[in-house]
Structure 1
């Protein structure tokens, strides 16, 4: 399942192809909002439109309550599309403006593809909080990158963005200093864009490296920072206490908290919470704990969870820092220990620290379908490569919208099409090698299939068929190589390290194909090119590539 074909309680649906004319005619009470959304998404609109769209708000139970999740919502919508002589008539019933926005985004994607689904259906997200966090070690994104990500992810149903780049010096090292005006102006712009996209912006501060918890002056400086951000309209904050020394650093703190870091963190979290609530009762606070992964019932996280205010959200990464699985059983244990549902900080697709030679371009996997009932939501940590992060994040968006119907493979293919465009099938022969992550050890599936078939034919003495299979696969690789070499796309530029190694891989395989075809003088060239490939640290093609090259050289 992708969101493009996610419909619940659906009646008969058929595709109405729009032909060359694709123009929206907004009507009714919400015509202005429909027109504004058309303009933002590049959809033609106005008089003479062949796609009439009207919208109506409903506060009824069936539009404001999600039965499966047992919660109220403002994100539920109902669409009825009817074919007419000149085009399509669409009416939308929605339970909140965010729901109307999602319904329009869904319709406009269909229009861009040249059709509208005629019929009637409800839709709504199952996870309450669906988003991403700029929480990696590495170069923070630019304003344009943040804006591009915000627009795309909001169009795909994400509703939350946490700002927390580790290498923003004012986020972590200079937590006690106010943001300078030039940067603060960008904060205001991001907040305004987030509001336009119906995304909740959470701004995080990480004081734990140097803060003296017992010092009132330190607390005053921290609150001055939060007040500055509140002045930009931000009402959602994060207090990050992760990746800091386990033991208290100052004698005054050791004395005040009996040497217990967890007591200091309970004290700080509750004090910040009370101070923020005194500014505005609508403010929300998220805490990232010092212990952010494990079983969920260890001493530190249990004491912290039971010690902080009940409506403080608590980040949790699961069993491990980068968890292969997130399960209902583990979530239930966390709930019992901390008296709150986990808000998952999911360390995928991030590729910092020990993972810097991996490019995580695969799909989200290993998150149980029923997890939406036992968590606040999932916030995915991104890579510093913003454009590349969009591909896995689009699959995250699909999973979070409807985990019960999530189809990982189709979601990934749709993500490639969205980000890469017309050449997405060609690009897939490169992306095929970029699945290795904490979620998956398997990689290079298209290559494995081709090389496996080649070796099978060679083992059975059918060298002619083996060469045909090799030539077919090599041709697809060559097309992909040409695309990558000729592309000036930002996506390809971000992945230049992996592209260079992929070119070596493709060159090695082409030499192997020619060697198999009878050019035995290429043996040394193959060995040299293969050695050059192996000298590169980037993670790419796996065992089957190495095995195939070595086998062919022995022929």
Structure 2
């Protein structure tokens, strides 16, 4: 990462540097952040070690560090914001919270340059703060949930990319949705406890989400007690943030629910208010988020009116844009929905989730999000990733850039930085793979040269495309990222099949023999049976356009 002016909000450097001896920055800490200087376990870095001058062993060995580091508390900074100044004699970090301190240390690691026995630092001032107060990931997709190892890795990933929020809401966790009344089995609850602890260690806010809307009885004290019992168990392990998800349910009140609360908006506001009252009585500090059943759309409704007029104003509201998978989220839609709901919003962006299109993976950047959502009632932005955690990382890196500094975000710049970070030794091959797995639900552009080649029957252009695919496959399959290869395997196999299909098509066109045409027809039939898809199906579409697909036999009526 060398594009500092893109990565940081404000970066001031006039071309001067200092050089300190050693393979690490050993920073002697002098802090005015707090009287209780307990920073052990707060700062994480491989190349930066912080020792306090107030520690006895440091006082006895004064001069242990190779540079001085001062921490200061600055209440005027935004949450998670910081100021980092590298001067000739010291480094100064000012922040409002410990997360801001960590981000400043991370920034120091980014700008530090190892030079064989020494570290060079620019004399620089960085003023950095996020566009959104809440930034992170919601594990909210259908299908196979992430493994416990995936979740732990996602926490590390978020901490490295200036995200601060993890919402636990896998649709196929039965105790989150289907069996919401029942307590978690001991082993599963232990995993949630460990996950929460890991979030605490990495300065990530953990949210437990519950989804009772399918069969909640709103007039039932017993049902409310089931919810409260579930939340109490979470509070006992330190959880302070919660979400009530009413998405993807039949939300028309029926039977006793209809007698008790006639409209769904009133019912959902009542449910959330009761949970909010319980949290107020139980916790001195917490956050509650609600996902409405009408979580997408761009017009006002009776449901939204009931939410804005009856649900407690402190509760945040999720929405996904004007559609479940919104190609564009502009100023008007954002501003209108803030007004319609009457609550501060968190954008639940369904990028790069693929649970509605399981034959695809989506490796492109986030695009077409208004640069100033935060100025229109949006306090947060969270991404719903794919079931494939490792494959989600490239689009998530671009999302992390947008979350931190939406005003400066450029999709293609972030995409390039993400690929370079994820696969620095395979940038060209990985860029090609990602470009052929862009998000077709949100980005409708196609490769114009290939589209022209199909129209004009330009065999050479299509041939070069599949020659490149063959080279890319060889490089990717030799890569030592086992997790990537396991998750991408079905799509690598599909690409290999498309290469075989194209070669059969090319042979049929060149020879014109019935045998070659039959071989091509066999490959075409196999293509149509494939569960996975790559790109815009160039080979198959070429076969169809060029008359190589077998035509159905005409039917005769007796």
**Smaller-chain TM-score bracket:** 0.7 to 0.9
Counterpart residue number, 2:470: 478
2:542 corresponds to 1:538 = no
- Secondary structure, aligned partner of 1:172: coil
Structure 2 gap segments, 5+ residues each: 52-62, 549-558
Does the 8 Å contact 1:238/1:286 carry over to 2? yes
Structure 1's 28 and 367: CA in aligned 2 closer, same or farther, altered over 3 A?
Answer: same
| Deviation, structure 1 residue 335 | 2.4
Does the 8 Å contact 2:113/2:121 carry over to 1? no
| Deviation, structure 1 residue 94 | 2.4
2:171 corresponds to 1:146 = no
Counterpart residue number, 1:189: 194
Alignment of 1:145-544 (within 5 A): 145-249=150-254, 251-257=255-261, 259-353=262-356, 355-374=357-376, 375-443=378-446, 445=447, 448-449=448-449, 451=450, 466=460, 474-487=466-479, 489-509=482-502, 523-524=516-517, 525-542=519-536, 544=538
Counterpart residue number, 1:70: none
Q: Could you tell me how far apart the structure 2 residues matched to 1:55 and 1:513 are? A: 67
Structure 1's 428 and 220: CA in aligned 2 closer, same or farther, altered over 3 A?
Answer: same
- Secondary structure, aligned partner of 1:415: helix
TM-score relative to the length of structure 1:
0.84
| Deviation, structure 1 residue 171 | 0.4
| Deviation, structure 1 residue 247 | 2.0
Structure 1's 144 and 16: CA in aligned 2 closer, same or farther, altered over 3 A?
Answer: farther
Q: Could you tell me how far apart the structure 2 residues matched to 1:509 and 1:22 are? A: 52
Q: Could you tell me how far apart the structure 2 residues matched to 1:492 and 1:18 are? A: 41
Counterpart residue number, 2:554: none
Does the 8 Å contact 1:361/1:392 carry over to 2? yes
Alignment of 1:28-39 (within 5 A): 28-29=29-30
Structure 1's 49 and 181: CA in aligned 2 closer, same or farther, altered over 3 A?
Answer: same
Counterpart residue number, 1:67: none
Q: Could you tell me how far apart the structure 2 residues matched to 1:51 and 1:391 are? A: 36
Q: Could you tell me how far apart the structure 2 residues matched to 1:506 and 1:221 are? A: 55
Q: Could you tell me how far apart the structure 1 residues matched to 2:229 and 2:201 are? A: 27
Q: Could you tell me how far apart the structure 1 residues matched to 2:269 and 2:394 are? A: 38
Counterpart residue number, 1:68: none
Counterpart residue number, 2:71: 56
Deviations 1:32-69 (CA, angstroms, capped at 9, x unpaired)? 9888577x4433648999974624213253xx1xxxxx
Does the 8 Å contact 2:131/2:404 carry over to 1? yes
| Deviation, structure 1 residue 74 | 2.7
| Deviation, structure 1 residue 412 | 1.2
Structure 1's 116 and 186: CA in aligned 2 closer, same or farther, altered over 3 A?
Answer: farther
Does the 8 Å contact 1:242/1:292 carry over to 2? yes
| Deviation, structure 1 residue 256 | 1.7
Does the 8 Å contact 2:298/2:322 carry over to 1? yes
| Deviation, structure 1 residue 550 | 6.2
Counterpart residue number, 1:69: none
- Secondary structure, aligned partner of 2:533: coil
Does the 8 Å contact 1:314/1:343 carry over to 2? yes
Does the 8 Å contact 1:51/1:90 carry over to 2? no
Q: Between 213-222 and 237-246, report the one with greater CA deviation.
A: 237-246
| Deviation, structure 1 residue 91 | 3.4
- Secondary structure, aligned partner of 2:30: coil
| Deviation, structure 1 residue 22 | 3.7
Structure 1 gap segments, 5+ residues each: 65-72
Structure 1's 271 and 455: CA in aligned 2 closer, same or farther, altered over 3 A?
Answer: closer
| Deviation, structure 1 residue 142 | 1.8
| Deviation, structure 1 residue 508 | 3.9
Q: Could you tell me how far apart the structure 2 residues matched to 1:317 and 1:413 are? A: 26
| Deviation, structure 1 residue 425 | 2.1
Deviations 1:150-194 (CA, angstroms, capped at 9, x unpaired)? 111221111111110011111011111112222222212111111
Does the 8 Å contact 1:22/1:49 carry over to 2? no
* Cα RMSD after superposing both structures: 3.4
2:46 corresponds to 1:42 = yes
Does the 8 Å contact 2:352/2:385 carry over to 1? yes
| Alignment coverage as a number of residue pairs | 524
Between structures 1 and 2, the one with greater helix share: 1
- Secondary structure, aligned partner of 1:10: strand
Q: Could you tell me how far apart the structure 2 residues matched to 1:523 and 1:398 are? A: 50
